[in-house]
């Protein structure tokens, strides 16, 4: 599980770096495997640090979720 968490941290760092280098509108698609909201879980546990970091990154770069 630790390596899986390392991958999430690496992904968030790479996404942040990518967003900080780009000033033009971009679309990034995919399943990022990080929950944003507790109601997205199928088990009764709260969110983790990756959810908070992901949501902070989304807010900081003013990213929009397209559903």
Per-residue pLDDT, 1: 43
For the chain, how are helix, strand and coil distributed in percent, rounded to 5?
50, 0, 50
Per-residue pLDDT, 41: 73
Q: What is the mean pLDDT of each run of 10 residues along the chain (67 residues)?
A: 72 94 88 81 74 93 87
Per-residue pLDDT, 52: 92
Instruction: Please work out, in degrees rounded to the nearest 5, the angle formed at the alpha carbon of residue 5 by the alpha carbons of 4 and 6.
Output: 90
Owner of token pair 């630790």: 2
At 26-44, the pLDDT tens digits run: 888 888 888 888 777 777 6
Per-residue pLDDT, 49: 85
């Amino acid at each position: 599980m630790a390596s899986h968490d390392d991958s999430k941290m690496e992904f968030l760092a790479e996404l942040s770096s990518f967003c900080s280098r780009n000033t033009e509108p971009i679309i990034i698609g995919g399943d990022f495997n990080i929950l944003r909201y507790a109601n997205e879980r199928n088990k009764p546990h709260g969110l983790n640090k990756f959810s908070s970091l992901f949501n902070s990154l989304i807010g900081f770069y003013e990213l929009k979720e397209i559903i």
